[in-house]
Amino acid sequence: CVSFVKVSAFVAHTVDKRLASRTEARYHHFHAKALETSQVSIEYFAYDGWNLTYQHKPASDGYEQHNPILLVHPVGIGLSSWFWNQLMRIWEGPELLAIDLIGCGVQHGADAWDPDMRGLSIPLGWTKCCEALMDHADAKTFSVVVQGGLGLVGVL
């Protein structure tokens, strides 16, 4: 019985690793394909000692004078700007910037967040990193789209 449990745990762990690896590979393949075909690029900026990333899609023809749109992803394990990939891929309109909030976007090269080293990142910190991106993008006015429980980030 003990050896069966050990073998079952090993098999489950191995299967989980393989599934996670396949899922990650599919995500990166789809993500790379979406970026490649839709003029979306990964861009970098710094805020308060953080190296942060965002996805950028230039304005479509005829929309260059419209306000850019900042897309803020919801929070949760594994979420980042990829949340907006499908919208960004098919978007025809003003410039889009999909931010990776502090601690998110590690797959794009952003800094990982360790609360023991940097403390908690609360909505005010996320709001300030959004403001830093808007300053970095150098537009006077933005439209902000927030999904999920981060409505405060869009309001602040």
CA distance 90 to 71: 15
What is the reported pLDDT for 66? 95
3: pLDDT confidence band, cut at 50, 70 and 90? very low
Who wins on pLDDT, 155 or 74?
A: 74
Q: What does the pLDDT average to over 49-59? A: 95
- Alpha-carbon gap, residue 54 to 43, rounded angstroms: 5
Distance (Å, rounded) from C-alpha 143 to C-alpha 90? 19
Q: Are 108 and 81 spatial neighbours (Cβ–Cβ below 8 Å)?
A: yes
Residue labelled with tokens 């839709």: 38
| pLDDT given at position 15 | 39
pLDDT 10s digits, 5-37: 333 333 333 334 444 444 455 445 445 544 555
Beta-carbon count within 10 A of 29 CB:
10
**pLDDT tens readout for residues 96-151:** 999 999 989 899 999 988 888 887 767 788 889 999 999 999 888 999 998 876 66
Closest CA to 68 of 142, 135, 136: 142
